[in-house]
Structure 1
Amino acid sequence: MFGPGTRFHRLFDDPCWAVAMIRATVLEAAHPQIGAALVDSSTFLTHPWRRMANTLRSLQRVTGADEAARDREVARLNRMHARMSGTDAANRPYDAMDPAARAWVVATMFESAVTMFRWSGRPLDQAAMEELYAQFLAFQALLGDSSGQLPASLRDFWPYYDRVVEEELENTEALRTILYHLFDHLPAPPLLEGVPTLWAAGRALAGPAIGVVTVASLPETFRRRAGLTEVPGAQALSQAAYLALGSARLLPEGWVTADNLLDLISLSPDSDDPRARALAAVGDGMKRFGALLRLVTPLPDEPGRPGAGRPSGRSARAGAGRRGAEEFFDTVLDQTGNGYLDWPDLAAMARELSGRLDLDEPEETRLYDAYAAWWRELQSTLDTDGDGRVSRQEYAEAVPFLAGPALIRVAEVLFDVTDADGNQSIDADEYRALFRTGFHRELLDSNGTYTRAAFIKDFLAFMAGRQRSTAYDPLLAQA
Structure 2
Amino acid sequence: MFGPGSRFHAFFQDPRWALAVIRATVLEAAHPQIGAALIENSTFVAHPWRRLRNTVVSLQRMSGDDDGVRRREVARLNRLHARVKSTDGPGRPYDAMDPEVRAWVVATLFESSVTMYRLSGQPLEQAAMEEVYAEFRAYLAALDGDAGRLPPTVREFWPYYDRVVEEQLEDTEAMRIILYRLFDHLPAPPLLHGLPTLWAAGRAVVGPLLGVVTVASLPERFRRRAGLPETPGAQAMMQSAYLAAGLTRFLPDGWTQIDNITRLLASSPDGDDPAARTIGALRDRVRRAGALVRLLTPLPPDPDPGDAADGRRSAEEFFAAVLDQTGDGYLDWPDLAAMARELAGRLDLDEPEETRLYDAFAGWWRELQEALDTDGDGRVSAREYAAAVPSLAGPALIRVAEVLFDVTDTDGDERVDAHEYRTLFRAGFRRDMTGSDGTYSRGAFVRDFLSFMSGRERSTPYDPLFADA
TM-score by length of structure 1 reads 0.95
- Residue 393 of structure 1 deviates from its aligned partner by 0.4
Determine the structure 2 residue equivalent to 1:39.
39
Is the 1:41–1:336 contact (alpha carbons within 8 Å) kept by the matching residues of 2?
yes
Determine the structure 2 residue equivalent to 1:110.
110
Determine the structure 2 residue equivalent to 1:337.
327
- Residue 145 of structure 1 deviates from its aligned partner by 4.2
Unaligned 5+ segments in structure 1 are 302-308
- Residue 363 of structure 1 deviates from its aligned partner by 0.3
Is the 1:194–1:283 contact (alpha carbons within 8 Å) kept by the matching residues of 2?
no
Determine the structure 2 residue equivalent to 1:469.
459
Unaligned 5+ segments in structure 2 are none
Distance 1:165 1:95 in 2: 19
Determine the structure 2 residue equivalent to 1:351.
341
Q: Which amino acid aligns with 2:368?
A: L
1:412 aligns with 2:402: yes
Determine the structure 2 residue equivalent to 1:250.
250
- Residue 310 of structure 1 deviates from its aligned partner by 7.7
Determine the structure 2 residue equivalent to 1:454.
444
Is the 1:317–1:470 contact (alpha carbons within 8 Å) kept by the matching residues of 2?
no
Which secondary structure state, in structure 1, belongs to the residue aligned with residue 94 of structure 2?
A: strand
Which secondary structure state, in structure 2, belongs to the residue aligned with residue 263 of structure 1?
A: helix
Distance 1:472-1:358 versus aligned 2 partners, 3 A rule: same
Distance 1:94 1:145 in 2: 21
- Residue 316 of structure 1 deviates from its aligned partner by 9.2
Determine the structure 2 residue equivalent to 1:306.
none
Q: Which amino acid aligns with 1:383?
A: D
Cα deviation per residue 1:45-104 (whole Å; 9 max; x = unaligned)? 100000001000110011011111111111111100000011111110000101000000
186-195 or 231-240, which moves further after superposition? Answer: 186-195
Which secondary structure state, in structure 1, belongs to the residue aligned with residue 76 of structure 2?
A: helix
- Residue 173 of structure 1 deviates from its aligned partner by 0.6
Is the 1:47–1:335 contact (alpha carbons within 8 Å) kept by the matching residues of 2?
yes
Distance 2:252 2:412 in 1: 46
Taking the TM superposition and a 5 Å limit, the aligned residue runs for 1:45-444 are 45-300=45-300, 319-444=309-434
Distance 2:88 2:268 in 1: 37
Cα deviation per residue 1:343-373 (whole Å; 9 max; x = unaligned)? 0000000000111111112000000000000
44-53 or 4-13, which moves further after superposition? Answer: 4-13
Determine the structure 2 residue equivalent to 1:304.
none
9-18 or 257-266, which moves further after superposition? Answer: 257-266
Cα deviation per residue 1:406-449 (whole Å; 9 max; x = unaligned)? 00000000000000000001000000001100001111223322
Q: Which amino acid aligns with 1:150?
A: L
Root-mean-square deviation (Å): 1.5
Distance 1:291 1:310 in 2: 13
Distance 1:250-1:465 versus aligned 2 partners, 3 A rule: closer
Aligned residues: 469
Distance 1:271 1:411 in 2: 24
Distance 1:279 1:66 in 2: 33
Is the 1:106–1:140 contact (alpha carbons within 8 Å) kept by the matching residues of 2?
yes
Distance 1:329 1:31 in 2: 30
Q: Which amino acid aligns with 2:61?
A: R
Q: Which amino acid aligns with 2:326?
A: T
437-446 or 105-114, which moves further after superposition? Answer: 437-446
- Residue 318 of structure 1 deviates from its aligned partner by 6.5
Which secondary structure state, in structure 2, belongs to the residue aligned with residue 403 of structure 1?
A: coil
Is the 1:381–1:401 contact (alpha carbons within 8 Å) kept by the matching residues of 2?
no
Cα deviation per residue 1:99-133 (whole Å; 9 max; x = unaligned)? 00000000000000000000011110000000000
Which secondary structure state, in structure 1, belongs to the residue aligned with residue 452 of structure 2?
A: helix
Is the 2:138–2:147 contact (alpha carbons within 8 Å) kept by the matching residues of 1?
no
Distance 1:460 1:97 in 2: 34
Determine the structure 2 residue equivalent to 1:10.
10
Is the 2:197–2:300 contact (alpha carbons within 8 Å) kept by the matching residues of 1?
no
Distance 2:115 2:51 in 1: 24
